[in-house]
C-alpha cells in the first residue's frame, strides 16, 4: 500500500481487485528478502532473483505501450516518461548485473539440473556474463551515441545529405564493434564480430550460413522478379482504393480488423498507434496496435494480421518470466508474423473466407476474391524497403546485410567504407532491383536501424520469411491448409504453431536446432524459393 501514491491508494483499497495490489507487497517481500524466501536450491533462488528484472522489463514494455498509445503526445510528457524509464532502466541494469546474481550462478550445481533447467541456466549465465562484460561507462557512451546518431540521421535525411550522418554512423559501427568484442570476451570459439552481432538478434545463426542462404535467394529472385514484372497478366490493384471521391472510414476498417483478429484467435487489446506494434506484459496480456489509411485498406489489415502472428506467439509462451520461456529469436518471432501476414493473409482461401466482410465493411463495388487476392499480391520495384512487396523485399534485406557485414568484418577502415555507403547502396539497388536512386533520402538514409546500432538486425527480416515458407510446407503435411483457412478453422493453425514453435520458447540454441528437432532438417531456403516461384507464376500467369 505504501507504494501507491495518495490518490490511487484509497481508490485501490476501495476495489475488490486490490487483492492483487495487496498481494503485491506480500510477494514483494518474498521477492526481495532471502531470509523469507522458500527457495530450496540455488537454482530456484537464481530463477527467482532473475525473474525480478524480467518483471521490470515487462513494466518498461507497459510504459512504452502507454507512451505510444495512451499518453497525450506532448514534449513534456515524453521528457517525463524518459526520466521515468531512465530510473527503471537504472534498476534493471543493477538487478541484471548484481553480485548476488553472480554468486547464485556460481553456486548452482549444474549437473544436478534437468535438461530444461540446464538450458535456462546457460541462458541466464550468458545474459549475466554479457551484461557484466560491458562497463557502465561504455553503456553510457552507447546510449548517448544512439541518441546523437539518431538526431544526426534525422537531420541528414531531411536534407537528403548522407555526409551529415557519416561521422556519427562511423562512431556507431566502431562502438558496436567494441561492444561485440567486449561481449565475446576471450572468444574461445573465435567467432567474428558480425557473428556476435547476428547472435544478438538471431541466436546461433552464423554469418556463413546467412551468406550461403542469402546468395541462393538472390540468385533465384533477381530473374524471377524480371519475369514477373515482364508478364502481361499483372493483376489490377483498383480494388485497394475507395470509389472516386470517397474514403474508407476508420470505423468500418477497424470493425473489419476486429472481426478478422478475432477469427485468427487474438483476444487481447487492439488499439490504434502511429506505427503498428505488439507488446506483451505476460502471455495473458498481449496487446497489438494498428493504423489505417483512409485511401487504401490493405496496409492497415496486413499490419494487424502481421501483429497477430507476433501476438499469438507471445500468448502461447510459458508464462513464468525466465529466459527459457522467452521468444527464441527475432527471426522466429518474425516468422510467426510473416506466416500470418503472407501464408494466411495473402492466400486465396483467406479472401474467399472474408470476402463478405471485406465488401460489406469497405463498401467496395463487388470484386471477386480472386481479384482482391491478385491486388494484394501485386509486385512492383520500390526504392523504399517498408513499401516493398513480398517478392522484392528480400533484396532490400540482402543489400543492407552485405553492406553492414562488409563494414563490421571487412579489413578496410570503417570510416572509409562508411563514406562510400551511398555509392555501395546505389550500386546494389541498381544491380539487385534495377532502380536508380535519385538521392540519399530515398537511398541509404531511409532506415533508422543503424543509428540505433542495430547491426545484425536486418538479416532477421529474411531469415523469418524463409522460415515462414518452410512452416507452410510442413503444416500442409498435417492438414488441408486451404480448407482450414476457407472454413475459418484458425485455431487448428494456432494449435499447430503452439506445438511446433511457441511452446519451445528458447529451449533450442537456434532456429536451425529447433527445425532440426521438430522437422528433421534445418532452415532451408529452397522451400521459400519454390513457394515464391509457384505463387507468383500462378498470379502473373507465367505458364
Give the catalytic positions in this structure: 307
Query: Strand order in 278-280's β-sheet?
Result: 270-272, 286-290, 278-280
CB atoms within 10 A of CB 441: 18
Cβ-based nearer residue to its own copies, 154 or 420 = 154
Taking the least distance from each CB to its own copies, the nearer of 153 and 354 is: 153
* Cβ 310 to its own copies shortest distance, Å: 6
CB < 8 Å & 24+ apart, contacts of 340-343: 340/264, 340/305, 340/306, 340/308, 340/309, 340/312, 341/302, 341/305, 341/306, 341/309, 342/390, 342/465, 342/468, 343/468, 343/469, 343/471, 343/472
Looking at the Cβ atoms of 34 and 491, the one nearer to its own copies is 34
Please list, in sequence order, all residues whose beta carbon lies within 8 angstroms of the beta carbon of residue 255, skipping any fewer than 6 positions away: 361
**Residue 238: all three cell numbers together:** 483498383
Q: In the chain, what is the straight-line distance between the N-terminal and C-terminal CA atoms, in Å?
A: 71
**Exposed, middle or buried by CB within 10 Å (0-12, 13-18, 19+), for 351?**
buried
Question: What minimum distance in Å lies between the beta carbon of 303 and its own copies?
Answer: 12
CB 229 within 8 A of CB 380: yes
In angstroms, rounded to a whole number, what is the distance separating the alpha carbons of residues 288 and 276?
7
Residue number with CB closer to its own copies (306 or 535)? 306
DSSP label at residue 234: P
Cα 347 to Cα 239: distance, rounded to the nearest angstrom: 16
The least CB distance from residue 448 to its own copies, in Å, is: 5
Q: Please report how close the Cβ of residue 343 comes to its own copies at its closest, in angstroms.
A: 20
Tell the smallest beta-carbon distance from residue 93 to its own copies (Å).
6
352 C-beta neighbours (distance < 10 Å), count: 17
Cα 44 to Cα 31, 49, 521: the distances in Å are: 12, 8, 35
Contacts 24+ apart (CB under 8 A), 105-114: 105/46, 107/42, 107/46, 108/41, 108/42, 108/43, 108/46, 109/42, 109/43, 113/43
Q: Which long-range contacts (CB under 8 A, 24 or more apart) does 6-12 make?
A: none
Q: Which is nearer to its own copies, 167 or 452 (CB)?
A: 452
User: Whole-number minimum distance, CB 133 to its own copies, in Å?
Assistant: 13
For residue 62, the minimal CB distance to its own copies (Å) is: 6
Amino acid at each position: 500500500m505504501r507504494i501507491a501514491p495518495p490518490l490511487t491508494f484509497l481508490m485501490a483499497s476501495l476495489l475488490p481487485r486490490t487483492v492483487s495490489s495487496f498481494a503485491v507487497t506480500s510477494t514483494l517481500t518474498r521477492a526481495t528478502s532471502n531470509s523469507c524466501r522458500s527457495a530450496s536450491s540455488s537454482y530456484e533462488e537464481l530463477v527467482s532473483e532473475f525473474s525480478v528484472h524480467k518483471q521490470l522489463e515487462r513494466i518498461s514494455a507497459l510504459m512504452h505501450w502507454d507512451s505510444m498509445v495512451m499518453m497525450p503526445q506532448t514534449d513534456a510528457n515524453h521528457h517525463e516518461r524518459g526520466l521515468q524509464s531512465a530510473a527503471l532502466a537504472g534498476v534493471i541494469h543493477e538487478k541484471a548485473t548484481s553480485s548476488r546474481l553472480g554468486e547464485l550462478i556460481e553456486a548452482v550445481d549444474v549437473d544436478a539440473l534437468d535438461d530444461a533447467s540446464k538450458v535456462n541456466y546457460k541462458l541466464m549465465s550468458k545474459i549475466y556474463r554479457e551484461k557484466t562484460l560491458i562497463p557502465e561507462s561504455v553503456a553510457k557512451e552507447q546510449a548517448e551515441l544512439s541518441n546523437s546518431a539518431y538526431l544526426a540521421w534525422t537531420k541528414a535525411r531531411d536534407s537528403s545529405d548522407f555526409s551529415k550522418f557519416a561521422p556519427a554512423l562511423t562512431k556507431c559501427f566502431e562502438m558496436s564493434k567494441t561492444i561485440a568484442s567486449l561481449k565475446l570476451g576471450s572468444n574461445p570459439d573465435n567467432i567474428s564480430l558480425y557473428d556476435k552481432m547476428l547472435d544478438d538478434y538471431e541466436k546461433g545463426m552464423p554469418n556463413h550460413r546467412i551468406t550461403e542462404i542469402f546468395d541462393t535467394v538472390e540468385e533465384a529472385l533477381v530473374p524471377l522478379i524480371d519475369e514477373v514484372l515482364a508478364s502481361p497478366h499483372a493483376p489490377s490493384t483498383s480494388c485497394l482504393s475507395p470509389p472516386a471521391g470517397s474514403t474508407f472510414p476508420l470505423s468500418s476498417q477497424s470493425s473489419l480488423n476486429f472481426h478478422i483478429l478475432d477469427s485468427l484467435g487474438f483476444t487481447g487489446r487492439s488499439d490504434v498507434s502511429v506505427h503498428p506494434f505488439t507488446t506483451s506484459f505476460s502471455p495473458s496480456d498481449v496487446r497489438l496496435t494498428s493504423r489505417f489509411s483512409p485511401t487504401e485498406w490493405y496496409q492497415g489489415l496486413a499490419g494487424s494480421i502481421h501483429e497477430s502472428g507476433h501476438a499469438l506467439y507471445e500468448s502461447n509462451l510459458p508464462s513464468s518470466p525466465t529466459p527459457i520461456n522467452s521468444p527464441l529469436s527475432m527471426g522466429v518471432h518474425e516468422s510467426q508474423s510473416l506466416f500470418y501476414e503472407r501464408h494466411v493473409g495473402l492466400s486465396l482461401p483467406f479472401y474467399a473466407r472474408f470476402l463478405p466482410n471485406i465488401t460489406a465493411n469497405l463498401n467496395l463495388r463487388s470484386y471477386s476474391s480472386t481479384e482482391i487476392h491478385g491486388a494484394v499480391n501485386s509486385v512492383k520495384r520500390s526504392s523504399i524497403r517498408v513499401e516493398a512487396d513480398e517478392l522484392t523485399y528480400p533484396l532490400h534485406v540482402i543489400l543492407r546485410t552485405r553492406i553492414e557485414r562488409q563494414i563490421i568484418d571487412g579489413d578496410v577502415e570503417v570510416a572509409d567504407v562508411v563514406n562510400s555507403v551511398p555509392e555501395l547502396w546505389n550500386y546494389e539497388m541498381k544491380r539487385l532491383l534495377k532502380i536508380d536512386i535519385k538521392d540519399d533520402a530515398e537511398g541509404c538514409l531511409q532506415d533508422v536501424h543503424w543509428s540505433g546500432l542495430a547491426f545484425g538486425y536486418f538479416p532477421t527480416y529474411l531469415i523469418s520469411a524463409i522460415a515462414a515458407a518452410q512452416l507452410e510446407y510442413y503444416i500442409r503435411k498435417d492438414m488441408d491448409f486451404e480448407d482450414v483457412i476457407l472454413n475459418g478453422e484458425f485455431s487448428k493453425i494456432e494449435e499447430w504453431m503452439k506445438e511446433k514453435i511457441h511452446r519451445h520458447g528458447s529451449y533450442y540454441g537456434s532456429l536451425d536446432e529447433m527445425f532440426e528437432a521438430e522437422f528433421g532438417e534445418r532452415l532451408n531456403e529452397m522451400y521459400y524459393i519454390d513457394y515464391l516461384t509457384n505463387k507468383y507464376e500462378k498470379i502473373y500467369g507465367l505458364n
